[in-house]
Every structure is written in structure tokens, then in C-alpha cells.
Chains A and B, each alone.
Chain A
Amino acid sequence: MSIDTATAAKVAKLARIRVEEDRLPALAEEFNTILGFIEQLGEVDVDNVEPMTSVTPQRLKRREDVVTDGNQQSAVLANAPDAREGFFAVPKVVE
């Protein structure tokens, strides 16, 4: 698998991380190194091996259907750069 600069640019855009044009080749190269490392796993034969989903046998933890949280509007909005009338206020996103 080989990542070119266009793919690196797309991944950066999807992740909303700005990468200057001249940094893209190095970024693509880094991706390739990481993926090359990971690809070694492909050499292992895992036919008929169930995926291990946890180190110790565990069952997905469940919650009861009870309201135990919420009513903390000011805490939820505390870090918002802008909040008005109880809402997060963000630059207009309508199309």
C-alpha cells in the first residue's frame, strides 16, 4: 500500500487538520512507514481464529434505563467559545 500526497491531503482534510502543501510529501512518507509496519501483520495466518476483543473474558457492560445525568447546561457550555441562550453558537453552517 502506498500513500501519495493527494491521499495525504485528503486524509488531512477529512481530519480537519491543516497541512501546508510543502509538508505533504513528508506526511505521505510517514503514513507509508506506519502502514508498512502494520502490513507485516498480514503475514500471520488468522484463518479460523476468532478476533480477540478483550484481553480478559468480559461481557459488554450494560446500564439500566434510568436517567442519572444531565441538567448541567452551564457545565456543558463552559468551554464553548460562544454560547447564547443556552445554545452553542457556531459560525453559520447551513447550506
Chain B
Amino acid sequence: MLDLTFEPPKPKVISGAKQDWELVIGMEVHAQVSTRAKLFSGASTQFGAEPNSNVAFVDAGMPGMLPVINEECVAQAVRTGLGLKAEINLMSAFDRKNYFYPDLPQGYQISQLYHPIVGEGEVLVELGTDKDGTHRARRVRIERIHLEQDAGKSIHDMDPAMSFVDLNRTGVALMEIVSRPDIRSPEEAAAYIAKLRQIMLYLGTCDGNMQNGNLRADVNVSICQPGQYEKYMETQDFSHLGTRCEIKNMNSMRFIQQAIMVEAERQIRIVEGGGQVEQETRLYDPDKGETRSMRSKEEAHDYRYFPDPDLLPLEIEQAWVDDIAAGLPELPDAKKARFMGDFGLADYDASVLTADLASAAYFEEVAKGRDGKTAANWVINELFGRLNRDEKSITDSPVSPAQLGGIIDLIAKGDISGKIAKDLFEIVYTEGGDPAQIVEERGMKQVTDTGAIEKAVDEIIAANPAQVEKAKENPKLAGWFVGQVMKATGGKANPKAVNEIVAKKLAG
């Protein structure tokens, strides 16, 4: 049985001027749904198109246009929900969230406030292993996932007096994934997003591209005195926690972590100074390293939600959900557990190899019919290391799984030493070719023929009488002879055989 037990990590404690404080974090992650067309129109979701070219009249908010839902967006939300072990709501409904902004031509965003498509689920966020071997992980509860429309994009730096608006993004489907306030440190916040991203990449429901804004987060931060969070967990009563502030729209793991710390420190200063934190929306300014109130927006954001009269409730059938469930791929947690169980991999190696699907598939092909640990070693240390140096990803690897497997087979057969294998790997990496053939053609085969090795040892000994005398007094110097023999044989001699023969000859 696998040892997958874990302890929750300790919450981040921040020392204020007067006392210690703990962090409490909840997140709303906006993930762009991977589909060809938008949520309610037939316009393309392609990133980077000419401005306003991926726009249907529905998206532009033209009068008389009616939204018609893209069924694949619904399927993707269900898939994501299943991936987060969440409850799927067979009846959900769409509401209008009303506000005015130039990049929202309808004057409202179609969202799901009252009846989201996905209910409660959870994400296992892994946080590594302590020095004493304790695995650290936290189960972050998911409150809900709802489907909604993205807004357009405003560009403010193209003209001194004007803002430029591109509606290509308007109406693209988003999943808003809302967590409970179960995250307790900036590192956990980043790990949580990374895990969500990994799961969605496995599922193919979001491409996870943070730079393009396809995955972004609003982060709710509050502080509490040690012990208060436990009271909240016991009762689910938020009054045990501090007042939260929401930091909007962040699409960088680094900035998310910075913003959480900066915001927590701001709240601590207020509370320790005898003030009260006001619940509000804030923006993080990475240049100044501070969060700023968006108060002007706050006032305008009285959203007056109401059910969208253009859309009937979304009813889906259990059989359809079951079909989707049956087609789900193996998810990261399951794959990792299988790699540890079937291939005997360590926790860390299994995590690295299951980080993305391409790496996992590559490894499995190499490991097939071979020793799993050796395969993992070669993939992680040699291949990933080499790819990293070239800033290449596994999908651009010049070495195929079959080629890497071939190298490993040559070591296993004793045809080449580990050291030569590394040279061979470099040749295959840069020049390509069949490893066995390269070894044959370039005479890289390991010399296990003891006669040949003995001959080489004899030659070295004959050429270095002074060294031989010294080595007889100090057996540690035998290493020098081994080195010389290896050098003379171009590293092809079997190191074990060389050691034995050198020892024997020096003694004799």
C-alpha cells in the first residue's frame, strides 16, 4: 500500500509590531474555457486576432440579438467539476450582472449567481516534503464553479486622451472557480493555482496560459489572530475571521504571492493601529509594491443581479454527465500514485514526471519494459536537465522515448558504462541516430574483456615504476591507476573490472 498520508502545512505567521498574525486566503480563479467558439455566439475565441474581428453582433450587444449557449462550454465546465470531485448541478441558470464599462457592450455580464453549474468540490494542494519526511498537503475546498462571459480588452496606452477597446474577448466563456478560505500562505496560494492549472490542462478544459490572461485570479486576503481560524473551521462562522479585501485580476504567480504579503502587512498595520479593515476591492501595483483601493469602482458595482430573461434554465441529464465522466483522462493525483506504485518512484520524482501530460507520457514510454527508477533518473536528470539548458520543452525533445530507452538498454546489457552513456546521450541529442548503431560504429562499447584491460593495466604499471612504489605503500593511490586506465581506454573499460585488476596487480 502506498504511503500517501500527509499533514497540513503550518499557516504563514506574520509578526506585527504588537503580536503574531495568521493569513487566511480564498481565491476566485477565472479560467478561460477551451472551445473554438464563444459562450453565447459563434465568434471565434482565437487569441491575437485583428482587433474586433472575432465579434458577433451578440457580443457587440446589438439590439435584438439573442444568446444561444455553446454546449461544449457546458461540457467543459462539467468536466472541470468532475476533475475537482465536485457535485454537478443538473439544473443551473444564468443571471445578468449589470454594470457599465466600455469593454462590456451589453451593459451586463451573463453569469450564474444563484444556480451555478458546479457545486462543492476539492483540490489536493501538495507542498512538498519536510526534512523529516512528512508530506505536506492541504485539501482546499471548492465552493462552486460557474460559467460566465469574459469582457473585452481596453488598451489605455495607445493614445493620450482615448482608450481603445477590442471586443474579441467579449463573450468568451470563463469558468469562475471559487474556493473556500482554506489557503493559509502565499506559497499555498501559488501551489493551489498551479494544481488547478495542472488539472485543467490534463482535462483539456483550459490552456492555463496566464500571460495571455486565460487564467487569472482574484485573491481574498484577511488576517486573524492565532486560534481564530480553527474556530472558523469548527463553526464555519466567518465572524471569527478578519475583514477581507479582494485583490483583483492577477495573472502572475509571483505577483499573487507578493500582493498577499503586502496586503496582509497593510491590514496588520491598520488593526494594530486601532483601526478597522474596510471590505473593499483593491488593485496590486507591482512597481510600487502596494495595493490600492478601487473605491471609485466599488460604488458603481451595485450589480443588481437578476435572472437573464433571454435564457431558459440550463438543464442537463445525468446520463450526459456520466458519459463525460467515463471519458475523463487519468488525473494528476491518480497518475502520480500509479507511478509511485507501479514504477517504485519517489514522491518527488513522481510529481516531476506527472507535472504535465507530455512528460508523463514520455516517461511511460521510456519505462515500458524497463526499470522504472532508471527510466525516471534518465528522463529527469539527463533529458530534462539538457532540455532546460536549451530552454526547450519535452514536446521539442530531439531525443525520442525509443532512443532514450535504447541508451538505457545498452547500459543494462553492460555494453556501455554510465559515463559513456552520458556521452552517447549527448550525441543522440545533438546528432540523432540509433544508440546501438552509434555505439557500434564509434567503438564506444565497454571493454569487459579482462585480457584487454589487463594489458592496459600492465602498460600503465610498466610506464610508471615510481608511482607503483608509492602505491604499494599507500593503497589509496590505486585510484590514480584506475584513472589512467580509463583514460587510456577512452572510458570504455568496465570500471569494476579495472578496479579489481589494478588492485590485484599492485598487490602482486
Residues of A at under 8 Å CB distance from B?
Answer: 10, 14, 16, 53-54, 58-73, 76-77, 82, 84-95
Check B163–A92 contact: CB distance below 8 A.
yes
> Given A76-B60, A94-B156, A84 and B164 touching (CB < 8 A)?
yes
Contacts of B100 in A (CB 8 A): 16
Q: Which residues of B contact A10 (CB under 8 A)?
A: 302
**Does B312 touch A at the CB level, under 8 Å?**
yes
CB distance from B307 to the nearest CB of A (A): 9
B159 at the interface (CB under 8 A from A): yes
Q: Are A91 and B72 CB-contacts (below 8 A) given A53-B313, A59-B315, A60-B312? A: no
A59 near B36 with CB under 8 A, answer no
Q: Is the CB of A91 within 8 A of B161?
A: yes
* B161 in contact with A87 (CB, 8 Å): no
- Are the C-beta atoms of A65 and B163 separated by less than 8 Å? no
Contact present for B51 and A73 (CB under 8 Å): yes
Are B71 and A65 touching (Cβ within 8 A)?
A: yes
Does B300 touch A at the CB level, under 8 Å?
yes
In contact, B159 and A89 (Cβ under 8 angstroms): yes
Contacts beyond the supplied A70-B55, A84-B159, A87-B164: 4 A-B pairs with Cβ under 8 Å:
A65-B73, A69-B56, A89-B163, A90-B162
Interface residues of B in 121-177 (CB under 8 A from A): 154-156, 158-167
CB of B43 within 8 A of CB of A69, answer yes
Q: A87-B165, A88-B164 are in contact. Are A67 and B102 (CB under 8 A)?
A: no
Q: Is the CB of B161 within 8 A of A63?
A: no
Q: Is the CB of B51 within 8 A of A86?
A: yes
Indicate if the CB atoms of B42 and A93 lie closer than 8 Å: no
Chain B residues with CB below 8 A from A62, complex form: 68-71, 74
Task: Place the interface of chain B in its size category.
Answer: 35 or more
Q: List 30 A-B contacts (CB under 8 A).
A: A14-B300, A14-B304, A16-B100, A54-B312, A60-B69, A60-B312, A60-B313, A60-B314, A61-B68, A62-B68, A64-B72, A66-B36, A69-B56, A70-B42, A70-B44, A70-B53, A70-B56, A72-B53, A72-B55, A73-B51, A84-B159, A85-B51, A86-B51, A86-B166, A87-B165, A89-B162, A89-B163, A90-B163, A92-B160, A92-B163
Determine the distance from Cα of A54 to Cα of B156 in the docked complex, in whole angstroms.
43
Is B311 an interface residue, CB under 8 A from the partner? yes
Residues of B within 8 A of A61 (CB): 68-69, 312
Contact B312 A59 (CB under 8 A): yes
Contacts of B71 in A (CB 8 A): 62-65
Residues 65-108 of B contacting A (Cβ, < 8 Å) = 68-74, 98, 100-102
B68 & A76 in contact (Cβ 8 Å cutoff): no
Contacts of B294 in A (CB 8 A): 95
Q: Given contacts A85-B51, A89-B159, is CB(A67)–CB(B44) below 8 Å?
A: yes
Total residue contacts A-B, CB cutoff 8 A: 135
Q: Is the CB of B42 within 8 A of A67?
A: yes
Contact of B52 among A67, A73, A82 (CB under 8 A): A73
Min CB–CB distance A2 → chain B (angstroms): 18
- With both chains docked as a complex, state the minimum distance between the C-beta of B90 and any C-beta of chain A, in angstroms: 12
Instruction: Kindly list chain B residues whose C-beta atoms are within 8 Å of the C-beta of A65.
Output: 35-37, 70-73
**A87 touching B312, Cβ below 8 Å:** no
What residues of A have a CB within 8 angstroms of the CB of B54 in the complex? 70-71
Please tell me if the beta carbons of A94 and B163 are within 8 angstroms of each other in the complex. yes
A86 to B55, CA, bound (A): 12
Name A63's contact: one of B42, B102, B297, B302 (CB within 8 Å).
B42
Q: Mark B311-322, 1 if CB is under 8 A from A, else 0.
A: 111110000000
Q: Are B98 and A88 in contact (CB under 8 A)?
A: no
Q: Is the CB of A14 within 8 A of B98?
A: yes
* Bound CA–CA A5/B487 (angstroms): 95
- Are B164 and A69 touching (Cβ within 8 A)? no
Residues of chain A within 8 A (CB-CB) of B57 are 69, 76
| B101: chain A residues within 8 A (beta carbon) | 93
Contact A60:B315 (CB < 8 A) given known A67-B36, A67-B43: yes
User: Is B41 in the interface zone, CB < 8 Å from A?
Assistant: yes
Contact B155 A87 (CB under 8 A): yes
Q: Does B469 contact A (CB under 8 A)?
A: no
